[in-house]
């Protein structure tokens, strides 16, 4: 059993898997890797049995993130956050560093 105090940060700067396993996302922090450009990425569920993030936009786990040049965005998700049954990853990453705060 995990508690809200068991939250750990995980970071990606390219497409990939944040965590392959059941987890909750509690918060998101994102910023462009190059301060003069806009950054973007899509946080999504992992495809069951893989470490690849889904590219579909038709499920409840899809969270697009866009950050302006020289900005940092922090998103706190309400109460228990978003549950990712199969794990969580990121696709379509462009000029972005994304840190998720997850239960693992």
Question: Could you read off the pLDDT tens digit of each residue along the chain, which spans 104 residues?
Answer: 455 668 999 999 999 999 999 999 999 999 999 989 999 999 999 988 888 888 877 666 789 999 999 999 999 998 889 999 989 999 999 999 999 999 87
pLDDT of res. 80: 85
State how far the Cα of 99 lies from the Cα of 25, in Å rounded to an integer: 10
Which residue, among 75, 63, 91, has the nearest Cα to 30 in the 3D structure? Answer: 75
pLDDT attached to residue 3: 57
d(CA 74, CA 45): 20
- pTM beyond 0.85: the answer is yes
Q: Which of 30, 53, 38 is nearest to 95 (CA)?
A: 38
List % helix, strand, coil for the chain (3-state, nearest 5).
5, 50, 45
CA of residue 73 relative to chain centroid, distance: 12
What pLDDT shows up at residue 9? 96
């Amino acid at each position: 059993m995990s508690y809200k105090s068991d939250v750990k940060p995980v970071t990606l700067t390219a497409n990939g898997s944040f965590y392959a396993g059941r987890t909750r996302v509690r918060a998101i922090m994102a910023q462009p890797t190059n301060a003069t450009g806009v950054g973007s990425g899509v946080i999504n569920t992992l495809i069951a049995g893989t470490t690849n993030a889904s590219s579909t936009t038709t499920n409840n786990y899809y969270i697009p993130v866009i950050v302006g040049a020289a900005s940092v965005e922090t998103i706190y998700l309400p109460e228990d956050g978003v549950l990712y049954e199969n794990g969580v990853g990121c696709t379509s990453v462009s000029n972005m560093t994304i840190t998720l705060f997850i239960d693992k």
